Chain A
């Protein structure tokens, strides 16, 4: 029991670890789109400026139970308007609430932890400019053994790792930017990398495709979809050129001119808001990662 107690203790960032940094809302907006915040925190059918109202409430159906996405608008009571920069950074990089409780990793902090503190402070500054909502999102409804938050401390010890895999030699600033976006804010691996039975991503199958853990809004529990392999393997996107990848993220058309569907449309529309150099960097990085076959089952 004491092993559980010690192993699950939260490990927040301390105040003196925060850099002196004035939030840049322009870069914060770029991080907002790269991070896909609106895809979960706005209303499911939000369009245009409606995507900036991050009132939460979306129910994510998963095998662990139902996760209800929280309100992260600047409302001081129901949103995160009362949060300090330190609160925000701890949520994004350590998966901790202001009162030091563990968040469930349906919130992709295992990816956001790779973001620089400066980018996170810029994102916070941008979120502070968005409209408030006083919607009170419901609590998660999880199976009993998943409902003990403290257990997540142990989960984090195994899965909340900050190391980024090395780039192929020779590295370039474009590849580094691509790795940062893919591994960090854009959290591609949250869906495209398969997970083990504890819900942790399987690192040596990075982006090799997965069964979706989330049942898409409006669908039922029997309709989990297969998330494609996006490594340069023939099971993945080996036939796509860098230009194909960048164009698909800009336009929503794959090289066969079928359009993306489902939640990838949300992702693509976010990526379309980035500078073209960032989409090119993502494409270059995706072509540089190990080619891994999809699981044959």
Chain B
């Protein structure tokens, strides 16, 4: 009994570092996982336009801000359910190093859908005001960030 416990501890110690050591070329739900990661990249690209202006790194441009905010709003309304099949979570065999999505995203459904609505709400406001000036854009960045974190806090691993 003691030996098997020790073996388990050693196995954990040895296996854990291997966890991120390589990215598999082939894994279950590859197209769906790559699809949703590309979708997140689309979000990130557009948020970086707004964020760059909010932080003062890029000069405010009403048309560019408006376009980015509208893209985000449209993205948040897409029905992407097909990208999130049951079982495509980080705890599933072989998926630890390819996705950070936690199983609780599915097991606590529809909480995540409610969080998605909160994001759409924040982006609706952002899309309405992003072209009105730097100040309204700045003051709504927090709500957009909260929209992202609404899902990432409980349904994604910490790793960044």
Please, which residue of chain B has its CB at the minimum distance from the CB of A197?
B13
CA distance A295 to B96 in the complex (A): 19
Asked if B36 is at the interface of the complex by the 8 Å CB criterion, the answer is: no
CA distance A197 to B153 in the complex (A): 29
Contacts of A253 in B (CB 8 A): 47, 51, 145, 148
CA distance A147 to B150 in the complex (A): 37
From B9, B142, B153, give the contact of A265 (CB < 8 A): B153
From A216, A218, A251, A261, give the contact of B160 (CB < 8 A): A261
Within the complex, the shortest CB–CB distance from B119 to chain A, in Å, comes to 11
CB-based contact A257/B154 at 8 Å = no
CA distance A259 to B144 in the complex (A): 10
Contacts of A247 in B (CB 8 A): 55
Asked if A20 is at the interface of the complex by the 8 Å CB criterion, the answer is: no
Query: Which residues of B119-158 are within 8 A (CB) of A?
Result: 141-142, 145-146, 148-149, 152-154, 156-158
From B12, B20, B44, B153, give the contact of A261 (CB < 8 A): B153
Known contacts A212-B158, A225-B158: does B90 contact A259 (CB below 8 Å)? no
CB-based contact A219/B51 at 8 Å = no
CB-based contact B145/A216 at 8 Å = no
Known contacts A211-B16, A219-B91, A223-B91: does B103 contact A262 (CB below 8 Å)? no
Query: Which residues of B30-71 are within 8 A (CB) of A?
Result: 40, 44, 47-48, 51, 55
Known contacts A261-B100, A295-B17: does B158 contact A216 (CB below 8 Å)? yes
From B5, B148, B159, give the contact of A228 (CB < 8 A): B159
Asked if A86 is at the interface of the complex by the 8 Å CB criterion, the answer is: no
CB-based contact A259/B51 at 8 Å = no
Please, which residue of chain B has its CB at the minimum distance from the CB of A224?
B16
Asked if B78 is at the interface of the complex by the 8 Å CB criterion, the answer is: no
CB-based contact A265/B152 at 8 Å = yes
Most buried by B among A45, A143, A225, A259: A259
CB-based contact A63/B102 at 8 Å = no
Asked if A169 is at the interface of the complex by the 8 Å CB criterion, the answer is: no
Known contacts A257-B47, A259-B148, A260-B149: does B102 contact A218 (CB below 8 Å)? yes
Contacts of A268 in B (CB 8 A): 149
Asked if B80 is at the interface of the complex by the 8 Å CB criterion, the answer is: no
Prevailing SS type, chain A contact patch = loop
From B44, B51, B152, give the contact of A262 (CB < 8 A): B152
CB-based contact B142/A251 at 8 Å = yes
Asked if A204 is at the interface of the complex by the 8 Å CB criterion, the answer is: no
CA distance A89 to B19 in the complex (A): 39
CB-based contact B152/A222 at 8 Å = no
CB-based contact A216/B159 at 8 Å = no
Within the complex, the shortest CB–CB distance from B109 to chain A, in Å, comes to 13
CB-based contact B157/A260 at 8 Å = no
Within the complex, the shortest CB–CB distance from A47 to chain B, in Å, comes to 10
Q: Chain A 174-217, CB within 8 Å of chain B: the 1/0 string? A: 00000000000000000000000100000000000001100011
Most buried by A among B40, B108, B149, B156: B149
Asked if A254 is at the interface of the complex by the 8 Å CB criterion, the answer is: yes
Known contacts A295-B17, A297-B21: does B149 contact A45 (CB below 8 Å)? no
Contacts of B146 in A (CB 8 A): 252
Contacts of B96 in A (CB 8 A): 222-223
Interface residues of B (CB under 8 A from A): 5, 9, 12-13, 16-21, 40, 44, 47-48, 51, 55, 90-91, 96, 100, 102-104, 107-108, 141-142, 145-146, 148-149, 152-154, 156-160
Give me 19 other A-B pairs in contact (C-beta within 8 A), A263-B158, A266-B153 excluded: A45-B154, A63-B9, A63-B12, A143-B5, A216-B102, A219-B104, A223-B91, A223-B102, A223-B157, A226-B19, A226-B20, A227-B159, A228-B159, A253-B51, A259-B148, A261-B156, A262-B159, A264-B160, A265-B149
